[in-house]
Amino acid sequence: MIERILIAGGGTGGHVYPAVAVAEEVLTRNPNAQVAFIGTDRGMEARILPSLGYSLHTITVSRLKGGGLPTRLLGLLRIPIAMFQSWRIMSKFKPQVVLGVGGYASGPTLLMAWLTCRRTAIQEQNATPGFTNRVLSKIARKVFVGFGAAKKHFRASKVLETGNPLRKSVTSALDGSTERSFSENRQLRVLVFGGSQGAAFLNEHVPSLLQTFQTRFPGIEVNVFHQTGKSGVESTQSLYEATTLTDSQWTVAGYINDMATAYTNADLAITRAGALTIAELMAVGIPSLLVPFPFAADNHQEANARSLVERGACHMIRQDAWKEGEIVDWLGDLAQDRTKLKDMSRAARGEARLDAAPTIVDHLEVLAA
């Protein structure tokens, strides 16, 4: 049983929420366990973790890859500072095990944990591992991966394919049935989101896409819930207002607090291809149109999406290949034949790994012992 665990990393919801899922599992097994996080004051962790009641320690760290030369030099200069800050936090907290989940804070924290002979592990969410986790895998005792395609990047004796851990708010909303409920044939409920920060490309292109769909298929009423990110609300609302869709057919929000309900009320998702997004889509069995973010590190979102395309669980379109007419044809085909939606849903659920968090904590308990 774990008494004290330190989880390092963050930056995006795709790093933070899997870490929260692991923390939830630790506390489910041992309500008296102490769980602490190390991150930065700029990432999503600074907003998400305190609101959930978790302790967050921040360190001074920034990127080493990407950006200009001054940015990378600044990142290098900050490493010793971040390592000292991590050492000070660990000296007080005394964790039995340190888990890295990717992001800027993960590197110096796990490096210092290794230098001070603490037990370490990492969790890689994507099909193509990030730079930080590829480096840290050399010193980590265990590597947990969300996609089988990532295993080849790590030493076989360390790596374990677990799937990506999901929050209890998502898994508890599942009804356990093998069939997903869809709306009737005269309606198509669409959920559009681009991760925790939204997706400008989807904000700009989906309103027109759905208007064209409604024009081409007037017998099928489209209803859309569109999450834009904080900065995209007003501009996206304006685009919907300029379409022929009625006000009752669309809802725009900057952020979705209750993803479980949003998933339940959708027949189809149009979204990016972040690892956490894909894990949740598989868990709830939502057919999806995935539009990978082309500037993601090592193009990992496209690799994530292809893992589902190969299994018939989604359709993928690259940004540079976006053709509204062809996508409308695909949407119309699905909307008119619910058996195709059901087939995609079954394929997605067949790839779900709802036991990811328990499996990871099983192994962390062994390390902690």
From first CA to last CA, the distance across the chain in angstroms is 8
* Domain membership flag for residue 181: no
Q: Do 192 and 338 lie in a common domain?
A: yes
Q: Do 87 and 202 lie in a common domain?
A: no
* Domain membership flag for residue 174: no
pLDDT at position 170 is: 77
Q: Do 22 and 45 lie in a common domain?
A: yes
- Whichever domain contains 97, its CATH number is 3.40.50.2000
Q: Do 193 and 342 lie in a common domain?
A: yes
Q: Do 331 and 362 lie in a common domain?
A: no
pLDDT at position 206 is: 98
Encoded amino acid at 300, one letter: H
- The secondary structure of 43-84 as a DSSP string is STHHHHHHHTT-EEEE-----SSSS-HHHHHHHHHHHHHHHH
pLDDT at position 266 is: 93
Distance CA 23, CA 8 (A): 12
* Domain membership flag for residue 57: yes
Q: Are 40 and 104 in contact (CB under 8 A)?
A: yes
Q: Are 357 and 170 in contact (CB under 8 A)?
A: no
Q: Do 131 and 221 lie in a common domain?
A: no
* Domain membership flag for residue 77: yes
Q: Are 280 and 168 in contact (CB under 8 A)?
A: no
Q: Do 43 and 94 lie in a common domain?
A: yes
Q: Do 221 and 298 lie in a common domain?
A: yes
Instruction: Give Cα 142 to chain centroid, integer Å.
Output: 21
Q: Do 197 and 346 lie in a common domain?
A: yes
* Domain membership flag for residue 178: no
* Domain membership flag for residue 22: yes
> What residues contact residue 260 under an 8 Å CB cut-off, 6+ apart?
169, 170, 172, 173, 284
Q: Do 194 and 148 lie in a common domain?
A: no
Instruction: Give Cα 272 to chain centroid, integer Å.
Output: 10
How many folded domains does the chain comprise? 2
Q: Do 328 and 195 lie in a common domain?
A: yes
The boundaries of the domain holding residue 329 are 187-350
pLDDT at position 194 is: 87
Distance CA 307, CA 288 (A): 13
pLDDT at position 264 is: 87
Distance CA 345, CA 282 (A): 8
Q: Do 266 and 360 lie in a common domain?
A: no
Distance CA 309, CA 291 (A): 12
* Domain membership flag for residue 60: yes
* Domain membership flag for residue 180: no
pLDDT at position 8 is: 97
pLDDT at position 310 is: 85
Q: What is the pLDDT along the chain (369 residues), one digit of tens a residue?
A: 999 999 999 888 889 999 999 999 999 999 999 999 999 998 889 999 999 999 999 999 876 666 677 777 766 778 899 999 999 999 999 999 999 998 889 999 999 999 999 999 999 999 999 888 888 999 999 999 999 989 999 999 999 999 999 988 777 766 555 567 777 778 999 999 987 778 999 999 999 999 999 999 999 999 999 999 988 999 999 999 999 999 999 999 998 888 888 998 999 999 999 998 999 899 888 999 999 999 887 788 999 999 889 888 899 999 999 999 999 999 999 999 889 999 999 998 888 888 999 999 999 999 998
Q: Which strands, in side-by-side order, build the sheet including 221-227?
A: 250-253, 221-227, 187-193, 268-271, 288-290, 314-316
